[in-house]
Amino acid sequence: MKQIFAPWRMTYISQEDGARPGCPFCDLPAQGACEDTLILWKGPAAFVILNRYPYVSGHLLIVPNRHVDDPVALPPDEWAAALAVVPHAVAALREVYRPHGFNIGMNVGRAAGAGIDGHIHVHVVPRWGGDTNFVPVLSDTRVIPEALEVTYRRLLPSFERLDQER
Ligand SMILES: [Zn+2]
């Protein structure tokens, strides 16, 4: 007889997957990649989302799918998969925004300025000479010349190509 309902299995899967209800980086991917969630791309180990509170237009986050609050807790292969998206994010931002440089990095823990400190993520921030200096980037001062939906629509085509390249 074929077993079609196995609640123990569901519990097992959600524990293994580690998704934490109430965490935006766990909840949003379940709603799909769209303008509402601001998710530009979803991969097997990581996804790319626009920062809802960007320092500058085009501020992206690369987020491992696994809910961990410590870089040490993410398995190396999942790190590799997440970081493999960095060059694509840089290329997409270059194509659309022609920035002069980038800040790429992480704030780990509340003390380091992490807005969502329960689920690690990598910031990719395009920079222009004279946009703002690095002090406002680390504080709450923001310059947002473009609506998030506009940014989303401008960047989406290059992330759709990411799936075709794989
Ligand atoms: Zn999470």
Query: For residue range 44-103, what is the model confidence (pLDDT) as tens digits?
Result: 999 999 999 887 889 999 999 999 999 999 999 999 999 999 999 999 999 999 999 999
What pLDDT band is residue 12 in, cutting at 50, 70 and 90? very low
CA distance 136 to 24: 25
Residue 133 Cα, ligand 1 centroid: separation in angstroms?
31
Which pTM was predicted?
Answer: 0.82
Distant-in-sequence contacts of 24-33, Cβ < 8 A, 24+ apart:
24/116, 24/119, 25/49, 25/63, 25/67, 25/116, 25/119, 25/121, 26/67, 26/119, 29/65
- List the structure tokens of 52: 């809802």
Which of residues 17 and 150 earns the better pLDDT score? 150
Is 100 labeled as catalytic in the residue annotation? Answer: no
Residue 132 Cα, ligand 1 centroid: separation in angstroms?
30
Neighbours of ion ligand 1 (CB under 5 A): 20, 23, 25-26, 67, 119
Query: For residue range 123-157, what is the model confidence (pLDDT) as tens digits?
Result: 999 998 877 655 445 555 555 568 899 999 999 99
Residue 158 Cα, ligand 1 centroid: separation in angstroms?
26
Catalytic residue among 59, 88, 121, 123: 121
For domain 20-165, the question of CATH label 3.30.428.10 is answered with: yes
Residue 68 Cα, ligand 1 centroid: separation in angstroms?
7
Q: Which of 123, 148, 150 is nearest to 137 (CA)?
A: 123
- List the structure tokens of 86: 């960095």
Residue 88 Cα, ligand 1 centroid: separation in angstroms?
23
Residue 27 Cα, ligand 1 centroid: separation in angstroms?
7
